[in-house]
A = this chain, B = another copy of it.
Amino acid sequence: MDYVNGPGRNHLFVPGPVNIPDQVIRAMNRNNEDYRSPAVPALTKTLLEDVKKIFKTTTGTPFLIPTTGTGAWESALTNTLSPGDRIVSFLIGQFSLLWIDQQQRLKFNVDVVESEWGQGANLDVLASKLAEDRSHTIKAICIVHNETATGVTNNLATVRKLLDEYRHPALLLVDGVSSICALDFRMDEWGIDVALTGSQKALSLPTGMGIVCASPKALEAAKTAKSLRVFFDWNDYLKFYKLGTYWPYTPSIQLLYGLRAALDLIFEEGLDNVIERHSRLGKATRLAVEAWGLKNCTQKEEWYSNTVTAVVVPPYIDSTEIVRTAWKKYNMNLGLGLNKVAGKVFRIGHLGNLNECQLLGCLAGVEMILRDVGYPVKLGSGVGAACAYLQNNVPLIPSRI
């Protein structure tokens, strides 16, 4: 049952699914339970309360949906909007593209604001659109916080500032799939109406749970939204929330216990420390890329992502070959370049329950791979640059001081 096994531990550096901590694997190593017995609602209650903390919301209502990020997108859209509704959506890479595709297939009227891949969302265009839209035909702004395909982080605070500036009532729907629990994310402060993530990203769980959090305004919108939905309907959840049984259909017991363990780990480390750790890992990776003489796909520092770095390879190299060599020779998984940047970039995911020496093992591997595919990197250069930064910035592990 273990296909294509290689010696030693797999180096998993795609931007999700990410490594699951041992504590979470252990917590999930269990039989099924009757989700209608008193134990499961008691557990669920703590999860719904605690999961709000990773969104930094006190007023939001979370939904733990047995689905993926794609399903979480659909849940966000269909619960708040009606077919034909006008929305503004930013196309900056493969995942924003897929979300837009979903928005269009669900029959929303999408103003697509496109940027060059490697750039962030064009907020100037948003400003113009909001300025023009005095009759408030725009019902929602849909934005991916962190575009996983290009390693671009959008500035959500600015989006909120623009909406406030123009006193525009549009809902703000945010894909936080590769950001929440890893990047600075403030649902309440930034006035986000629907935020969502997937379990297999920074939460470091298996795939299978889409976590969606709705503001009171979003819940209000759900009352009138005309998009057809049943499986994704928040109202079914809300009905069972009131009953105190919480589940309109069978949840994965294992993922619930896993989420409990994942949240406990995050709170033990401290959410802000987790975010700071991602900041260190992102910075270290970028220093290595620079030392290798390669370009970051992300065009400006303001958009640098701390969860994934897309590295542009020289034109004479096919980045697919890098990913293939990583897997075939070093038991390492790197992210492919997708769509427009296929063959041109490879991606290093540095999110989730990950520490510095794990990343350095990856960076050392990438150096060897670059040589393997014909790029004359100075071996040790990237690792050295990363180490120089990390050695001065890694804090002691609090529980071990």
CB distance from A64 to the nearest CB of B (A): 12
A16-B250, A31-B10 known; A355-B378 Cβ under 8 A: no
Give the CA-CA distance A365 to B394 in the complex, in Å.
11
B231 touches A74 (CB 8 A): yes
A330 within 8 A of B: yes
A332 within 8 A of B: yes
A36 touches B8 (CB 8 A): no
CB distance from A275 to the nearest CB of B (A): 12
Give the CA-CA distance A368 to B19 in the complex, in Å.
24
Determine which residue in A30, A198, A380, A395 has the highest number of CB atoms from chain B within 10 A of its CB, and name it: A380
B257 touches A1 (CB 8 A): yes
Q: Which one, B6, B26, B107, B356, contacts A400 given CB within 8 A?
A: B6
B33 touches A22 (CB 8 A): no
B-side contacts of A43, CB under 8 Å: 3
CB distance from A373 to the nearest CB of B (A): 11
A397 touches B208 (CB 8 A): no
A14 within 8 A of B: yes
B357 touches A231 (CB 8 A): no
B-side contacts of A332, CB under 8 Å: 357
B-side contacts of A11, CB under 8 Å: 357-358
A33 touches B4 (CB 8 A): no
Give the CA-CA distance A36 to B347 in the complex, in Å.
13
A401 within 8 A of B: yes
CB distance from A116 to the nearest CB of B (A): 25
Give the CA-CA distance A238 to B239 in the complex, in Å.
35
In the complex, given contacts A67-B71, A379-B388, what are 20 additional A-B residue pairs having Cβ atoms less than 8 angstroms apart? A4-B42, A8-B354, A8-B355, A9-B21, A10-B33, A11-B357, A17-B35, A33-B333, A37-B333, A66-B66, A67-B231, A70-B249, A102-B230, A200-B250, A360-B365, A364-B364, A367-B384, A379-B387, A380-B384, A380-B387
A-B contact pairs, 30 of them (CB 8 A): A1-B264, A4-B39, A7-B277, A8-B21, A8-B353, A8-B358, A9-B355, A12-B33, A12-B34, A14-B36, A16-B250, A17-B35, A37-B327, A66-B68, A68-B249, A68-B250, A102-B230, A102-B231, A200-B250, A207-B250, A207-B251, A207-B252, A208-B252, A359-B361, A360-B364, A361-B361, A361-B364, A364-B383, A380-B380, A380-B385
Interface positions of A (Cβ within 8 A of B): 1-12, 14, 16-23, 25-39, 42-43, 66-71, 73-74, 83, 101-102, 105-107, 198, 200, 206-208, 227-228, 230-233, 248-255, 257, 260-261, 264-265, 268-269, 274, 277, 327-333, 336, 353-365, 367-368, 371-372, 378-388, 390-391, 394-397, 399-401
